[in-house]
């Protein structure tokens, strides 16, 4: 019994092992990736600066400088932030297509809220009337009856539409479903076109501006080997010139006669009858 009491009970020591987090986790990898990305961007910037000219570098600097306009002709807003009103024509950008082009198409013309797609309404009033001389304004007022008096009968007036471009006052006369300017697909004028020619010669007598006559037609739904659209539009424009000459238009008043085939449609649908038209242009004196 004494030997048993002399034995010492074993001591059990628990050791807590703490494993390392692998160099404090993966946060260092994110920081290192950010550093490498920043260095790559820095060296890319250095390479670009070395590869560009002084003029190119100035352009890049201007682009990122908020106090310098990117587009020198862009408009600004009046008020607290200064600048000119964007609603005045003097400050609007002028390098786009629109009604101030020499030969605008309907899709590129500035036609106002109506979009210029309604054949029954007169031309858009959204244009700078100051661009027209007083004489051409008088011609437009007489043709459309804007002054309250019109020398054009209602059955003729519905075929007339006007618009203003840099080139001058354009008077369009066009086909309607129930009334055509030419017989079928020919250049033979109808009585309607003869009556319109008489009216237009009377209007042309009010001014001394030279005239240009342009023919247009609708596109054909199928492709043919020898499309007649070029010959038809040229012949129709020339037929209009001959009609106006017979009714007293001076021989030297016509500056040009042109056929445009179906290349400048007046409406979105290229095969629409509305594209069958003649354009009589009262040329501005400064063109």
pLDDT digits (tens, 9 = 90+) for 40-83: 999 988 888 888 888 887 877 777 776 544 444 444 444 444 45
Q: Where are the beta strands (DSSP E) in the chain?
A: 160-165, 168-174, 211-216, 254-259, 277-283
Asked if the structure places residue 105 within a domain, the reply is no
Give the span between the Cα atoms of 196 and 244, in whole angstroms.
Answer: 9
CB 216 within 8 A of CB 272: no
pLDDT digits (tens, 9 = 90+) for 162-198: 988 888 899 999 999 999 999 988 999 999 999 999 9
Asked if the structure places residue 234 within a domain, the reply is yes
Higher pLDDT, 130 or 7: 7
Asked if the structure places residue 231 within a domain, the reply is yes
- Look at 31-35, 121-125, 195-199 and tell me which has the smallest mean pLDDT: 121-125
**159: Cα within 13 Å, side-chain hemisphere:** 27
Percent of the chain with pLDDT over 70: 63
Residue 275 belongs to what domain range? 129-283
**157 and 59 part of one domain:** no
pLDDT for the residue numbered 45: 85
Asked if the structure places residue 176 within a domain, the reply is yes
Q: How many CB atoms lie within 10 A of CB 83?
A: 13
Give the SS3 label for residue 240. Answer: helix
**50 and 172 part of one domain:** no
**52 and 169 part of one domain:** no
Asked if the structure places residue 216 within a domain, the reply is yes
Asked if the structure places residue 151 within a domain, the reply is yes
Give the span between the Cα atoms of 258 and 261, in whole angstroms.
Answer: 9
**138 and 272 part of one domain:** yes
Q: 231 Cβ partners below 8 Å, 6+ apart? A: 259
Q: Report whether pLDDT(100) > 60.
A: no
Among 190, 168, 194, 172, smallest CA distance to 181 is for 190
**51 and 183 part of one domain:** no
Order of strands, sheet of 160-165, starting from the edge strand that comes earlier in the sequence: 160-165, 168-174, 277-283, 211-216, 254-259
Q: What average pLDDT does this structure show over 121-125?
A: 42
CB 171 within 8 A of CB 162: yes
Helix residue ranges, H only, 15-84? 27-51, 54-63
Give the span between the Cα atoms of 200 and 205, in whole angstroms.
Answer: 9
CB 122 within 8 A of CB 162: yes
* CATH code for the domain in which residue 195 is found: 3.30.1330.60
Split into its structural domains, the chain has a count of 2
In the numeric block, which tokens belong to residue 64?
């990122």
**155 and 44 part of one domain:** no
Q: Report whether pLDDT(90) > 50.
A: no
**135 and 248 part of one domain:** yes
**34 and 175 part of one domain:** no
Asked if the structure places residue 20 within a domain, the reply is no
Between strands 211-216 and 277-283, the pairing is: antiparallel
Cα dist. 286→166, 210, 211 in Å? 9, 11, 13
pLDDT digits (tens, 9 = 90+) for 229-256: 899 999 999 999 999 999 999 989 999 9
Higher pLDDT, 126 or 172: 172
Asked if the structure places residue 13 within a domain, the reply is no
Four-point Cα dihedral 196, 207, 247, 176, nearest 10: -10
Higher pLDDT, 274 or 66: 274
Q: Where are the beta strands (DSSP E) in 33-174?
A: 160-165, 168-174
């Amino acid at each position: 019994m004494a030997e048993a009491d002399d034995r010492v009970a074993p001591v059990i020591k628990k050791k807590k092992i703490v494993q390392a987090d692998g160099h404090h986790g993966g946060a260092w990898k994110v920081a290192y990736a950010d550093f490498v990305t920043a260095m790559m961007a820095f060296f890319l910037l250095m390479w670009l600066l070395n590869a560009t000219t002084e003029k190119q570098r100035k352009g890049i600097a201007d682009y990122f400088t908020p106090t310098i306009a990117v587009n020198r002709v862009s408009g600004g807003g009046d008020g607290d932030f200064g600048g000119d009103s964007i609603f005045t024509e003097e400050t609007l950008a002028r390098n786009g297509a629109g009604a101030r082009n020499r030969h605008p198409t309907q899709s590129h013309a500035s036609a106002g809220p109506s979009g210029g797609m309604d054949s029954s309404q007169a031309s858009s009033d959204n244009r700078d009337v100051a661009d027209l001389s007083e004489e051409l304004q008088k011609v437009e007022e007489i043709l459309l009856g804007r002054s309250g008096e019109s020398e054009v009968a209602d059955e003729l007036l519905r075929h007339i539409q006007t618009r203003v471009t840099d080139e001058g006052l354009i008077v369009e006369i066009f086909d309607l479903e129930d009334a055509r300017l030419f017989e079928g697909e020919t250049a033979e004028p109808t009585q309607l076109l003869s009556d319109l020619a008489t009216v237009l010669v009377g209007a042309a007598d009010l001014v001394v501006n030279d005239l240009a006559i342009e023919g247009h037609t609708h596109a054909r739904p199928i492709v043919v080997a020898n499309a007649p659209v070029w010959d038809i539009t040229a012949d129709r424009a020339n037929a209009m010139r001959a009609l106006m000459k017979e009714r007293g238009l001076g021989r030297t008043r016509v500056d040009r006669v042109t056929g445009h085939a179906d290349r400048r449609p007046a409406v979105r649908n290229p095969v629409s009858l509305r594209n069958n038209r003649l354009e009589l242009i009262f040329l501005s004196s400064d063109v």
